[in-house]
Structure 1
Amino acid sequence: MKKSTGQHTLSIDIGGSHVKATILNKQGKLTMEYDKEDTPMPSTPQNMMDAIKKLVKGFPEYNQISVGFPGYIKNGVVVTAPNLGNKAWGGFDLQTELGKELGKPAKVVNDADMAGLGVVNGNGFEMVITLGTGFGTAFFLNGVLLPHLEISHHPFSKGMAYDEYMGDKALDKLGLKKWNKRMTKVFKVLKTVFNYDYLYIGGGNARRLTFKLEDNMKLVTNEDGIKGGARLWQTGKLEGVHSSVKSPK
């Protein structure tokens, strides 16, 4: 590793298609362009660990690790991983194991939660969604991250959950025009149910939206979201994520 000064965070975003990583300074600014690897198939914990180690080999030095994971995380342990394979991941302590493998303290949270930390402004009730392989959500009240809800698994229409209704597979099957029609319905429901002050829309499919967004809706990039990796370690009201952090021995 190349030497660096100050507090630097290795920020990793695990997705159904790619694993992305970069190094952030204390302010959350990228100190290098983020790099990526294809998500390994099958996406077992060991294959994922190997992919991450390969990806970050040769990265500049860092002090700590932040990971956004596509599933429900409790105290750094994977509970569900619908887009990677629940059976292999259920109960895997990714936070502890990654810390041991890379030799730095780690925090692992849901990917939408970490992305939200990178984009919210800390005023009012803010909702963050990610449109990708599936559907991710995060909620913030005056900058405090609220308990994670797996909205993606909630039934939306004709027995289909959000993931099935508007995820990657639905987009491929329907085509862009029909998928956008579905998305207008999704946004109407989100507005009615959650009454957010502001909605941030990220993920790889956000750029595929073709209709005009309302004034309190904003598209954000993966680069914006990955900056949440630095905020995850900061003290103050945005430290709404309570993860059990274990330093590797």
Structure 2
Amino acid sequence: MKLTPQPLKVLSIDIGGSNIKGTILNEKGELQKKYEKTPTPVPASPENVINSIKTLVKDFPEYNKISVGFPGFVKNGVIKTAPNLSNELWKDFDLANKLKEVLGQETKVVNDADMQGLGVVDGKGLELVITLGTGFGTAVLLDGNLLPHLEFSHQPFGKEDSYDKYIGEAALEKVGDKKWNKRMKKVFDVLKTVFNYDYLYIGGGNSDKLTFKLDKNMKIVSNVDGIKGGARLWVNTNAPETIKPVKIQKK
């Protein structure tokens, strides 16, 4: 008797410096339940973050895959850096396998900007995704495919040691909205020159603090749109018929 493949139901989690967010997605990246969030614990140790995720999703509907966006460098589901969490505690922590063990389903973990990129891009040409939150995240995609992740945020900028320190949450609070916006204009000028992108998507909690007019090939996207990328991590040409590649529909 031939078994019918189960429709894809993805628990999609976005771990941020301020909040942990989650929902359930179908194969098209459509939300199957209300998007929910809980504060990121302090200290944000692996144990505390995993316990927060367990509490957040305990009443969620059934799911058969898990996708996680993490704010740091991730290699094969293993955390290498976590600059905006408890960094040393995360070094070489196998988050994918630990969540599989705790929640009981296959798990993929990628950088949070990479997952957001999968959720928001149109899949045409060179597209750059940035996130403005606790830190500065970036993802680069070519024709809808993720390119190797670069921790661009740790590059020096101006007199600061990094983009994170120049335009991150702490910098915004220190210099105020007006000066922060001036800094963002300078950052956008550099990104245009360095990447020569076809389109730039701006996400993260501080994106709504931007007050100047954006170029025609730039737009602000929501965290809800970004979390839809969790479905794309499991949609591939080798998957069963029920979860072949599907273009995520934008509103």
Q: How many residues align?
A: 233
Could you tell me which residue of structure 2 aligns to residue 21 of structure 1? 22
Question: Cα deviation per residue 1:58-83 (whole Å; 9 max; x = unaligned)?
Answer: 10000100000000000000000000
Quote the Cα distance in structure 2 between the aligned partners of 1:85 and 1:96. 19
Query: 1:147 corresponds to which letter in structure 2?
Result: P
2:197 equivalent in structure 1: 196
2:111 corresponds to: 110
CA distance in 2: counterparts of 1:206 and 1:186, whole angstroms: 13
| 2:243 alignment counterpart | none
1:123-138 aligned within 5 A? 123-138=124-139
- Identical aligned pairs, as a percentage? 65
1:71 aligns with 72
Residue in 2 aligned with 1:243?
none
1:225 and 1:6 map into 2 onto residues whose CA distance is 21
Structure 2 CA distance for aligned equivalents of residues 204 and 72 of structure 1: 20
Shift of 1:218: 1.0
| 1:236–1:206 CA distance, 2 compared to 1 (3 A) | farther
Within 5 Å, give how 1:1-249 maps onto structure 2. 6-236=7-237
CA distance in 1, matches of 2:51, 2:96: 15
CA contact (8 A) 2:133 2:168 kept: yes
**CA deviation after TM superposition for structure 1 residue 26, in Å:** 1.0
Paired residue secondary structure (2:170): helix
Contact kept, 8 Å, 2:12 with 2:230, in 1: the verdict is: yes
Give unmatched runs, 5+ long, in structure 2: 1-5, 239-251
Answer yes or no: is the 8 Å Cα contact 2:17–2:84 preserved in 1.
yes
Amino acid at match of 1:29: E
State the Cα distance separating 1:33 from its structure 2 match.
1.1
CA deviation vs aligned residue, 1:7-64 (integer Å, no higher than 9, x gap): 2100000000000000001110001111111001001000111000000001000010
Distance 1:157 1:104, change over 3 A: same
Q: How far apart are the structure 2 equivalents of 1:160 and 1:74?
A: 24
Cα distance in structure 2, aligned partners of 1:58 and 1:143: 33
State the TM-score, normalized to the length of structure 1: 0.92
Question: Secondary structure of the residue that 1:175 maps to in structure 2?
Answer: helix
Which contiguous aligned blocks of 4+ residues in structure 1 show a shift greater than 4 angstroms? Answer: none
Shift of 1:160: 2.6
State the secondary structure of the residue aligned to 2:157. Answer: strand
